[in-house]
Amino acid sequence: QQKVQQSPESLSVPEGGMASLNCTSSDRNFQYFWWYRQHSGEGPKALMSIFSDGDKKEGRFTAHLNKASLHVSLHIRDSQPSDSALYFCAASGTSGGSNAKLTFGKGTKLSVKS
């Protein structure tokens, strides 16, 4: 079973619109969450991290974490064509020797149409 599940698999939004991406973990050991973004032909790049319950805002990007349900979301306000990319949710644990490793979801492909 995939320990980090993302939805939807793909998403299309108009330029200037709001994009909402979801991620759920099935492993209670996962307490730290990251969002990574990968443009075509490049390696993934960290977008933001969220470790505490609630919202975290960075510019047009807002992440929300609910640790009780192990659900994290990413909302992109005023979406731009340059936001078109593959978005990964990743999670890590809080204790033990393996807590430095990340487990990634399968990704959500976002297309922003101008």
Residue ranges that bind other proteins, judged by CB under 8 A: 32, 34, 42-46, 49, 88, 90, 92, 97-107
Looking at the Cβ atoms of 13 and 48, the one nearer to other proteins is: 48
Query: Smallest Cα–Cα separation from 11: which of 103, 89, 87, 106?
Result: 87
Looking at the Cβ atoms of 58 and 78, the one nearer to other proteins is: 58
- Shortest Cβ 114–other proteins spacing (Å): 26
- Shortest Cβ 33–other proteins spacing (Å): 12
Looking at the Cβ atoms of 32 and 61, the one nearer to other proteins is: 32
| Number of C-beta neighbours around residue 18 at 10 A | 13
Looking at the Cβ atoms of 59 and 97, the one nearer to other proteins is: 97
- Shortest Cβ 59–other proteins spacing (Å): 17
Give the span between the Cα atoms of 43 and 65, in whole angstroms: 25
64: Cβ contacts below 8 Å, ≥ 6 apart: 50, 54, 55, 56, 72, 73, 75
Residue with tokens 């949710």: 89
Give the span between the Cα atoms of 81 and 36, in whole angstroms: 17
- Shortest Cβ 1–other proteins spacing (Å): 13
